[in-house]
A and B are shown apart, each in its own frame.
Chain A
């Protein structure tokens, strides 16, 4: 058996590495560079009921070790995603995690109900953490009660397991995690981007037309690790960890913190081959560390008294 295969609700993965939503489109561009079949899974771009253009440009700004983005959930809309984008991905042996977004509860329910019926969609990622849209998005992810209710309603209509993507832009992320667990979530993905901004030296105005944007990249890795470390010991849900992953070593660090799989985001822009490279390097790194299977890494950083039976199983 491969040292990388992973079983998660709805997902039998050949390895635990996947591109993060919003950083990989619907796979077409990267398929020109490498065989997508190597990926454990793929988190495709957020889908809303209607097509969205998103924010005006500039939509990206750079900062040491990271970048800010304010794309604004641009996507072709539910119909096109279900009829064109997802069927195109069927030729790959890769279970898809569909990212579900919207402005209202009804939006999320509508997308979840339809997209969860698509054969290659094996799980949903409920996006209640996008910081770059005026309504919906992060509003659902910063209020525990709203997060719980939305999770419940989406679970009621979804035909596949539901993972909830958590926002780091909260005082107590554990509280939100517990709320969505109570709402029936099957797993968590974390973290989304941190709200930040850059200001132009000459114009004295924000660089991003949206003024603020989501910070991603290596700069946010310590924040992601800390939050996964805290949440993983307080809930019984598996976590797909993300936030600044660049290497196989980073992947192991996320597992140690408490993740059961990982997603790579911004680094795809820097090195489009980062996912296949990490997947190739992981087995050797595990051997070097004396670990026979990657799942043994989950939660290794926890103190003994903090371990939950679920994770030891």
Chain B
């Protein structure tokens, strides 16, 4: 973990309101697990004041670069979308615990399920799994056709299915509809996306091992402020907790209440 001014290599709009920001900095050498995030200070001034947690989409140690993908939505991400090549961005990272690649053995099948802006961290995960000889099946859900990104990149790594809510592209409906329709099963399932999707995957039991990446509003991003706390499941005391930022954001299904 370090705080560093990273240089913008590129900042491209790759789908409707979706931006791919590539940065260069020494912190890439500390990035190992897929599913970790960086805490981004988008402005030098007071508004917005807090950092933005954004997951790491790909790591390129050879070139000293990493990529984050975000949706331009509020004030912070709108400022971020304006960053030009050569500008410096204040980044704290890498933070959190990512997806356990070691839980998938070579020749096993991993199902990667992403929803919307939860898709990005699965890309680095897919790369690392494939490198290890794990077969990946990618199921990616988006709101509509214009929101789809990285389909061809995922397709290079494994079987890839797209679902859109309006059905204009890919399977109509949710990621769970694709899994049912295609009778997909695997040894392990990794997911990142909206909470209702994670809940559905947690109860469905599509694979014996399931890992979910959670999202929560954060303050410090390092575990000190207790803003992003969640309950531990099956805790009779009610006091047990996990911090999404520093214990997560990835948890084994059933570990915390979502």
Contact = CB atoms under 8 A, between A and B. Distances in A.
A269 B228 CA distance: 13
B223 A54 contact: no
Given A32-B1, A52-B239, A269 B50 contact: yes
Contacts of B50: 60, 62, 67, 269-270
B227 A71 contact: yes
Interface of A: 22-25, 28-30, 32-33, 45, 51-54, 57-62, 64-67, 69, 71, 74, 76-77, 217-219, 266, 268-273
B237 interface: yes
Contact of B226 (A54, A67, A77, A270): A54
A274 B118 CA distance: 32
Nearest to A72: B226
Contacts of B49: 62, 64-67, 217-218, 266, 270
B229 A269 contact: no
Most chain A CB neighbours (cut-off 10 Å) among B227, B237, B239:
B227
Interface string B15-45: 0000000000000000000000000010000
Contacts of B231: 53
A45 B225 CA distance: 9
Nearest to B223: A29
27 contacts: A23-B220, A23-B225, A25-B226, A28-B223, A29-B220, A29-B222, A29-B223, A45-B226, A53-B239, A58-B216, A59-B226, A60-B219, A62-B49, A62-B50, A64-B47, A64-B48, A64-B49, A65-B49, A67-B219, A74-B229, A76-B239, A218-B49, A266-B49, A268-B224, A270-B49, A270-B50, A272-B92
A225 B48 CA distance: 23
A25 B223 contact: yes
A57 B163 CA distance: 30
B46 interface: yes
B241 interface: yes
Contact of B225 (A51, A57, A64, A71): A71
B124 to A, nearest CB: 23
Interface in B209-258: 216-231, 237-239, 241, 246
Contacts of A28: 223
B134 to A, nearest CB: 31
Interface residues of B, number: 32
A22 B225 contact: yes
A51 B239 contact: yes
Most chain B CB neighbours (cut-off 10 Å) among A32, A57, A74, A270:
A270
A53 B238 contact: yes
B220 A269 contact: yes
Contacts of B3: 33, 271-273
Q: Which 6 A-B pairs rank lowest in CB-CB distance, beginning with the nearest?
A: A25-B224, A65-B46, A51-B239, A64-B47, A29-B224, A269-B220
Contacts of B51: 269-270
Nearest to B220: A269
A57 B222 contact: no
A197 B224 CA distance: 23
A126 B1 CA distance: 34
Interface of B: 1-3, 41, 46-51, 92, 216-231, 237-239, 241, 246
Contacts of A32: 1, 222
B225 A269 contact: yes
Contacts of A45: 226
Given A25-B223, A29-B246, A269-B50, A57 B228 contact: yes
Nearest to B92: A272
Given A52-B239, A270-B49, A273-B3, A57 B224 contact: no
Given A29-B222, A270-B41, A218 B217 contact: no
Contact of A74 (B219, B222, B226, B237): B226
Contacts of B217: 57-61
Contacts of A57: 216-217, 227-230
A99 B241 CA distance: 21
A25 B223 CA distance: 8
Nearest to A61: B217
Nearest to B241: A53
Given A57-B229, A59-B229, A217-B49, A69 B220 contact: no
A61 B50 CA distance: 10
B136 to A, nearest CB: 32
A140 B3 CA distance: 40
A71 B1 contact: no
